[in-house]
């Protein structure tokens, strides 16, 4: 029974990921307004009803990957050794996540970011970022922190967003990890 539940959960996760990837690909290619739930379901090779079992709309399907990375980052921060200072726990967690996911393609990241500038996605993204900030604050609250956990979590997330923006816009051949490290190092200087 346990292996059946494991298989069932794996299949659900695979379906969610396939729907998310189909939504992202279609939105990057055609724009959010031109993409329907039906077209996403067709591209993911599932029915409209199955789509509805996983997501409430195309926006949910599109932002699924981002939400999963958010959850994974929070889990990774909480998993760091108990005595590790808050900033170090955040840095180690993002490094682990980057190693696991690998280096993204610059062009794909740029097109994805542009596709997500649609007004119907902005409110949802802001809510996701507010939830992440709250969850990261809670994850580092018990650790040594030279400022409030809320300030540290917000500064860390601003650093990640700024680094990603710089990386997608620059012409240099630096990796995203290099840009994130440089940006987070600059943010940490006043706390060192």
> Could you tell me the pLDDT band of residue 169, with boundaries at 50, 70 and 90?
confident
Q: Residue 150 phi/psi, 5° resolution?
A: -65, -45
Of 96 and 125, the one with more pLDDT: 96
Distance between CA atoms of residues 138 and 132, nearest Å: 10
Distance between CA atoms of residues 163 and 179, nearest Å: 6
Task: HSE, CB side, 13 Å, CA atoms: give it for residue 102.
Answer: 2
Q: Residue 131 phi/psi, 5° resolution?
A: -65, -40
This prediction has a pTM of 0.80
Instruction: Give the residue among 32, 12, 9, 115 at the shortest CA–CA distance from 66.
Output: 115
Rounded to the nearest 5 degrees, what angle is found at the Cα of 103, between the Cα atoms of 189 and 14? 120
Task: State pLDDT tens for residues 24-42.
Answer: 889 888 888 899 999 999 9
Residue 99 and residue 154 in contact, taking contact as beta carbons nearer than 8 Å: no
Distance between CA atoms of residues 8 and 147, nearest Å: 44
């Amino acid at each position: 029974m346990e292996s059946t539940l494991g298989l069932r959960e794996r299949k659900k996760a695979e379906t969610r990921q396939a729907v998310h990837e189909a939504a992202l690909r279609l939105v990057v290619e055609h724009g959010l307004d031109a993409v329907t739930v039906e077209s996403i379901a067709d591209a993911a090779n599932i029915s409209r009803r199955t789509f509805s079992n996983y997501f409430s709309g195309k926006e949910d399907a599109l932002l699924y990957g981002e939400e999963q990375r958010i959850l994974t980052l929070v889990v990774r921060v909480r998993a760091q050794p108990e005595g590790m200072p808050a900033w170090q726990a955040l840095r180690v967690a993002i490094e682990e996540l980057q190693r696991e996911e690998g280096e993204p393609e610059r062009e794909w990241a740029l097109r994805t970011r542009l596709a997500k500038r649609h007004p119907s996605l902005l409110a949802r993204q802001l809510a996701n970022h507010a939830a992440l900030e709250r969850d990261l604050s809670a994850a580092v609250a018990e650790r040594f922190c030279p400022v409030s956990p809320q300030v540290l979590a917000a500064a860390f997330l601003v650093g990640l967003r700024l680094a990603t923006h710089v990386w997608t816009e620059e012409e240099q051949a630096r990796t995203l990890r290099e840009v994130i490290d440089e940006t987070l190092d600059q943010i940490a200087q006043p706390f060192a």
